[in-house]
Amino acid sequence: MTEANINAALDSDFKDFEDALQNFSAENNTDISVIITRNEKDFKNSSLLVQSPQEFLETNNFN
C-alpha cells in the first residue's frame, strides 16, 4: 500500500473505502489485469477488467 494509492482511494468515487484501496493497489500493479469479486457493482469505476469468480474460471484455462 502506497500513499498514492490511499490518496487516490480517498479522492475516488468509490462508495467503499476498502474497495477503493484494493482497486488502486491493483491498478498500480502492472502484474494485475483483473479484479475477481462477487460484488462486481462495487468496482464499476475500475479501469481494470472486473469478473465474478465464475466468469474468471470460465474464461481462463487452468488445465
How big is the CA angle at 46 (ends 43 and 48), to the nearest 5 degrees? Answer: 110
Cα-trace Rg, the chain: 12
Number of independent structural domains in the chain? 1
Question: Is residue 61 very low, low, confident or very high in pLDDT (cuts 50, 70, 90)?
Answer: confident
User: How high does pLDDT run on average in the chain?
Assistant: 94
pLDDT of the residue at 63: 59
CA 55 – CA 63 distance, rounded (Å): 16
> Structural domain of residue 18, as residue ranges?
3-59
Q: What are phi and psi of 49, to 5 degrees?
A: -65, 135
User: Cα separation of 20 and 3, whole Å?
Assistant: 13
